[in-house]
Chains A and B, each alone.
Chain A
């Protein structure tokens, strides 16, 4: 909701210093991860299609039996995992080390001294960037994975891109895509809380040990992201099977 309030103020030229920082973080995070997520999911698509086609009885069997379900399976199981990994690596590492080093270099103290709440100025913009960007990356990921899978199908069976993409897209239901987007937003929220906690509290307790604090944050985030993903996947499977 905080993120939504930023948009009209930015568009009408009445952006506050916190709004500007939020926009800067969103663009920075999106710019820094879009390419990596497209490439990662492309490789996931490539590897998955190669594995499946290699084990399929014939390219026709792949086209008729696997392809109609491929997009759905990617959206539900592969994309959230791949993007969550990126969010952990880029988001949690960046956010924790940023906050911790800002505390060490007294930037947080300076913000407090001028009357700005560091939670508003440092934590919220980075958390919003993570929460907005992670679901957006999922949308990029769905199509990159499709492209990766098509490359294998084209090399092995000369599949046509438009018909391959149409068959792939038919299995990506809006419900499944929405669930993935929600799943990633929840994962990103959990990652932001972990990064914020370690950044602020860890640096307070162990001033100067930014590397150690970041490592602890990443270890906690990797574990938590796996648990959150597992829990949400089980939950969505439970509901979709009913």
Chain B
């Protein structure tokens, strides 16, 4: 029996040519493009935040609407709930499923805090955090609950080099060990994309192309984008 793709997109349109692509289990797709190229819009469709106007999006063979609980999302703004502590924010997906804050989720939440290196921030209010720490907490929250597919908009933006390396390593580890079936990241950082992705979806103008990371190294649009980014 064949394994269903972690994510399957058919005929999705965000204004330009319709998208059709698949992310197989164990793969990481990096969505690369200039400011305003539609990366965040594409991710909003893939995470179910915006309704898919045409075409279909399936997660592990299931329609996106039915599989939303298994999709973890890191938004462009970290979206941490302002009047909750770091611990409560990360616990939120567990609490939604009726688990008690004082019970078994304590260890689960602390594990996720250790994974992203923010265990020392447990009792802090989120408005006291730096932008980088907010990103890490947002990642930990996206990994809480029954997450199988991670959709991340600029997950390493504003992270210090040490934290960036930790997050890169974590994402690769989670997808290679099968904890996550796939990851889709939107980024403007081509080096980061090359390090963690198996494929790159390059958005340019109203068109797009899917490249392997090797092809991205020599693709003229990627090179032009890298030049502009630097």
Question: Chain A: residues with CB nearer than 8 A to chain B?
Answer: 14, 16-17, 21, 24, 102, 104-107, 109-116
Contact = CB atoms under 8 A, between A and B. Distances in A.
B80 A113 contact: no
A106 B79 contact: yes
B95 interface: yes
B65 interface: no
B23 interface: no
Contacts of B87: none
A110 B47 contact: no
Contacts of A104: 77
B95 A17 contact: yes
A106 B75 CA distance: 7
Interface residues of B, number: 30
B96 A113 contact: no
A7 B49 CA distance: 33
A110 B96 contact: no
Interface string B72-91: 11011111111100001000
Given A114-B96, A114-B145, A102 B82 contact: yes
A116 B75 contact: no
* Most chain B CB inside 10 Å of its own CB: which residue of A17, A24, A107, A113: A113
A229 to B, nearest CB: 31
A106 B68 contact: no
B77 A105 contact: yes
A106 B76 contact: yes
A110 B79 contact: yes
13 contacts: A14-B100, A17-B95, A17-B96, A17-B101, A21-B83, A110-B81, A110-B138, A113-B48, A113-B71, A113-B72, A115-B69, A115-B145, A116-B92
Contacts of A21: 83
Interface in B27-58: 47-49
Contact of A107 (B68, B71, B80): B80
A112 to B, nearest CB: 7
Contacts of A102: 82
A112 B49 contact: yes
B77 A114 contact: no
A110 B95 contact: no
Contacts of A14: 100
A111 B98 CA distance: 15
B199 interface: no
B93 interface: yes
A107 B79 contact: yes
A115 B81 contact: no
B96 A115 contact: yes
B69 A110 contact: no
B141 interface: yes
B81 A107 contact: yes
A17 B99 CA distance: 10
Given A110-B80, A111-B81, A113-B49, 10 more contacts: A17-B96, A21-B83, A102-B82, A104-B77, A105-B79, A106-B76, A109-B49, A110-B79, A113-B72, A114-B145
Nearest to B138: A110
Interface string B113-149: 0000000000000000000000000100100110000
Nearest to A25: B83
Nearest to B73: A113
B184 to A, nearest CB: 14
Return the 5 tightest CB-CB contacts between A and B, nearest first. A110-B79, A106-B79, A106-B77, A106-B75, A17-B95
Nearest to A110: B79
Contacts of A111: 81, 92
Nearest to B102: A13
Nearest to A98: B82
A136 B164 CA distance: 51
Contact of B93 (A16, A106, A109, A114): A114
B83 A114 contact: no
Contacts of A109: 49, 73, 75, 79
